[in-house]
Amino acid sequence: MEKETARIEAFSDGVFAIAITLLILEIKVPPATVDLGSQLLRQWPSYVAFVISFAFIGIMWINHHRLFTHIHRSNTVLLILNLLLLLGVCWVPYPTAVLAQHLSAGDQKIAALLYHGSYFVIAIFFNVLWQYATHAGLLGHNANAAAAAKISRQYAFGPSLYLICIGLVWVNIPVSLLVNFALAIFFALPAEYVIKKERDFIG
């Protein structure tokens, strides 16, 4: 029997695919009238922004997939919350382009704040979507309560960690971007692995 959320997942996959593809459009081909090697090197901010945002959209897709392995039912509120999350995903190419344009010159601080702030909002959308699904009884009948609790715990770190990235902008912009990239790795890890490592560290 087809899951009630099958259409939500199919539509979401399409949005993720389009958003991640649009990122490459921000890397421009240098004109033929200039030294190609030097122009390619000068575009390093675009490469950095592309790699970070590609990783993040890809990992957001992974996490979206993980959520919907547990979410089996839907209602109007869930549809709206999922659309809000997808709104954030579609937004990612814009702050990526702004960051690439201003990372080597221009107002780096505002560009970095826009970039980190975007992921802060997306992290909130993820949390709200998941918390609503769990409390509204939209998980499957065979959903593992322990696994769901681990996901909730891992996601709870998201907004506060992105706030740290925002604060680091006033200290060191490259470090803030490195922390942002480290967060991509953190959220790529399965929730049970993160919780196990946390317990090992505390114990």
Pick the more confident residue, 71 or 30. 71
pTM (two decimals): 0.82
**Structure confidence at residue 142 as a pLDDT band (50, 70, 90):** low
Q: Using an 8 Å Cβ cutoff, are 92 and 53 in contact?
A: yes
Query: Which pLDDT value is given to residue 52?
Result: 79
Give the mean model confidence (pLDDT) for residues 96-105. 81
DSSP state letter for 136 = T
Residue 137 tokens, joined: 């009884």
Is the pLDDT score of 114 beyond 70?
A: yes
Return the pLDDT at 189: 73
Structural domain spans, the chain: 6-202
Helix/strand/coil for 34: coil
The amino acid present at 70, given as its one-letter code, is: H
105: part of which helix (H) or strand (E)? Answer: none
H/E stretch holding 60 reads helix 44-70
